[in-house]
A = this chain, B = another copy of it.
Amino acid sequence: MHTKEQHSKQTKPIENDCFLRALNRQPVDRTPIWVMRQAGRYLPEYLKVRAQAGSFMNLCRTPELAAEVTLQPVNRFALDASIVFSDILVVADVMGCDLHFVEGEGPQMRKPIRSAADLKACVQPDVQETLSYVMDTIRLVKQGLNQRVPLIGFSGSPWTVACYAVEGSGSREFSVIKSMLYRDPALLHSILAAIQKVTAEYLLAQVEAGVDVLMIFDTWGSLLSPTLYQHFDLHYVRPIIAAIKAKAPHIPVIFFTKGGGLWLETQADLGCAALGLDWTVSLKDARARVGNRVALQGNLDPSALLGSPESIEQAVQAVLADFGPGNGHIFNLGHGIQKETPPEHLQHCIEAVHRYSPAYHQGV
């Protein structure tokens, strides 16, 4: 293990900066690509380390192993960014929800936050201390990357973290938090404010530890109406982005509401560098709607990687053509890569981006 000082100061510039340039809507030779959950169950080398760790949370909490799986996809594939291996719910965990993962059932909180008393019992954690395993992972990854590509740190949106913290688990309709929203909105606002505070500190701690980019995953914003999305979701994202802009103005932030394609205009006003898009949105339409305010990241259907090499190539071409010529596109999937995906299919996808995207960057 190395000390913070050794790794937080990188003097060497990042070698492959096309992801950073695209985030800033600057010219690039080709469209950069990384994929959500690129370190994950579709990779045999991941499964090996995951088995060694015993549990998903042990893997997250063991910096050497978390760093190893973070580096696996960038070592195997020509990806243009790395993303820290962790989970959005570690924030709820250190607030006192006691997170664990049940095989085949997903995340479970032993102590969900369902009342004012539950909230009062929550910890105001020192994230540098309680999430030191994430910071250690970041430092190890930065060392392992040796400035080859940028490293992305991340969190969930307060609304999305609250979905699990209040519900106690994943759910189709999240009826516990939705009930709370209508029955006791003041309580829910207090919970969201508490999560917001910890999330902002957590993201800034990741910057201090060495990440180059931040992403905020808003997986469950689409459970809300347009008005509630403003009041219970974006209202708690905006101050987080403002805090990052104030304290780490050089760090671009990507914001992604899964299923949030109806609300791109308002997302583009959050102050982030880029918006993530799922595959239900046309990149062309999205671009017309957000103008030059933000870069766009996405949006290949993850299921497309289950097709034949030819169909993958066609699907990649369709995404590139949909965005069209110009700057500010980061190729990605519209959601996490599926565990059934053959790794060589991701390889086809990356090669297709390398083959077909340069044409969209000539003379622009």
Q: Is A13 an interface residue (CB 8 A)?
A: no
Query: A360 at interface (Cβ–Cβ under 8 A)?
Result: no
Query: Is the Cβ of A175 less than 8 Å from the Cβ of B280?
Result: no
| A225 contact set on B, CB distance < 8 A | 279-280, 301
The answer on a CB contact under 8 Å between A222 and B280 is yes
Q: Is A143 an interface residue (CB 8 A)?
A: no
List, in ascending order, chain B residues with CB within 8 A of A307's CB: 179, 182-183
Inter-subunit contact B181/A303 (CB<8 Å): yes
Known: A259-B280, A261-B262, A262-B281. A304 touches B224 (CB 8 A): no
8 Å CB contact of A179 from B226, B228, B303:
B303
Please give me the residue from chain B that is nearest to A222 by CB atom: B280
Residue of B nearest to A228 (CB): B301
The answer to whether B338 and A259 touch across the interface, beta carbons within 8 angstroms, is no
A277-313 to B contact mask, C-beta < 8 Å, 1/0: 0011110000000000000000001011011100100
The answer to the question of A173 belonging to the interface, with a C-beta cut-off of 8 Å to chain B, is yes
A178 near B303: Cβ-Cβ < 8 Å: yes
Q: Does A340 contact B (CB under 8 A)?
A: yes
Please, which residues of chain B bring their CB within 8 A of the CB of A279?
Answer: 225
| Copies assembled | 2
Contacts of A308 in B (CB 8 A): 182-183
A3 within 8 A of B: no
A181 to chain B, nearest CB (A): 7
In the complex, whether A318 has a CB less than 8 A from a CB of chain B is yes
With A227-B318, A318-B227: A175-B306 Cβ-Cβ less than 8 Å: yes
Contact indicator per residue, chain A 239-282, by CB within 8 Å of chain B (1) or not (0): 00000000000000000000101100000000000000001111
Who on chain B is nearest to A259 by CB?
Answer: B259
- Whether A303 lies near B182 (C-beta < 8 A) is yes
A178–B304 Cα gap in the complex (Å)? 8
What residues of chain B lie closer than 8 Å to A304, measured between beta carbons?
182
Give Cα A56 to B208, complex, Å.
57
Quick one: closest B residue to A299, CB to CB? B225
The smallest beta-carbon distance between A286 and chain B, in angstroms, is: 10
Q: How far is the CA of A303 from the CA of B303 in the complex (A)?
A: 31
- A178, B306: Cβ atoms closer than 8 Å: yes
Query: What is the distance, in angstroms, from A285's C-beta to the closest C-beta of chain B?
Result: 8
Contacts of A172 in B (CB 8 A): 172
Q: List 26 A-B contacts (CB under 8 A).
A: A172-B172, A173-B303, A175-B303, A178-B301, A179-B303, A179-B340, A181-B303, A182-B303, A182-B304, A182-B306, A182-B311, A183-B306, A183-B311, A222-B280, A224-B280, A225-B280, A225-B301, A226-B282, A227-B318, A228-B301, A259-B259, A259-B280, A261-B262, A262-B262, A262-B280, A262-B281
Add 14 more A-B contacts to A173-B303, A224-B280, A261-B262 (CB < 8 A).
Answer: A178-B306, A179-B303, A179-B306, A179-B307, A183-B307, A183-B308, A183-B311, A222-B259, A222-B280, A225-B279, A225-B301, A228-B301, A259-B259, A259-B280
**Which A positions have Cβ atoms within 8 angstroms of B?**
172-173, 175, 178-179, 181-183, 222, 224-228, 259, 261-262, 279-282, 301, 303-304, 306-308, 311, 315, 318, 338, 340
